[in-house]
Amino acid sequence: MREIVLDTETTGFEPSEGHRIVEIGAVELYNHVPTGKVYHQYINPQRPMPEEAFAVHGLGDDFLKDKPVFKLIGQEFLDFVGDAPMVIHNAAFDMKFLNAELGWMKAPTLPDAQAIDTLLIARRRFPGAPASLDALCRRFGIDNSMREKHGALLDSEILAEVYLELIGGRQPGFSLDTRRGAAGGDGGEPAWRPGPRAKPLASRVTEAEKAAHDTFIEGLGPEALWAQMR
């Protein structure tokens, strides 16, 4: 299965207010493994860069003035993505900008269903916990020390690592063979998945250990979290 992990940088928050994309970075995964293929493009927004946006990504007017405008690279971007699912952190933001830019050049837009939002996945897995890219890097022990400012390609590379952790680690489903046509790939058999045991394993906790644990929990008082979960 081919997936594209993607990030953009922009001049602001709303394309309806004249803001534009200034950078796209994307990383190709195949069966959840990076292939080494990437797409990276800086884009001339044809408007001044607000100071607030410059503080986030460091892309200024002088740097962007000789870069291509979006309509010159839009088809190349679409060709790279194809019909692959796009893994995006806060997908609604990036999809809003991508489809605005594609609409302005009268190109086909991308269906929202093509996007996988890692922000929503993280919030479902860790309700109430911080779900920013930096917070998820801390949670999973992913090195993001090079991320002094936002950058679309670097952020997509980091997001690829975060995404693999969010879906269960680098080999979700225990499908270790990443070749095309292997089990779980595009070539045939479904990936193997473990089934339930015919007979559950017996508990190895003794009655004395259970009693000691119950005594310990009671000693914590009724307000203790463990006591409330019994």
Residues tagged active-site: 150
3-state secondary structure (DSSP) of residue 41: strand
| Non-local CB neighbours of 113 within 8 Å, separated by 6+ positions | none
Please state, in angstroms and rounded to a whole number, the distance separating the CA atoms of residues 22 and 58.
11
**Which pairs count as long-range contacts for 217-225, CB under 8 Å and 24+ apart, including other chains?**
none
Question: CB–CB of 160/137 below 8 Å?
Answer: no
3-state secondary structure (DSSP) of residue 98: helix
Please state, in angstroms and rounded to a whole number, the distance separating the CA atoms of residues 130 and 214.
33
CA 104 to chain centre: 27
Structure tokens at 177: 């063979």
- 23 φ, ψ (degrees, to nearest 5): -160, 140
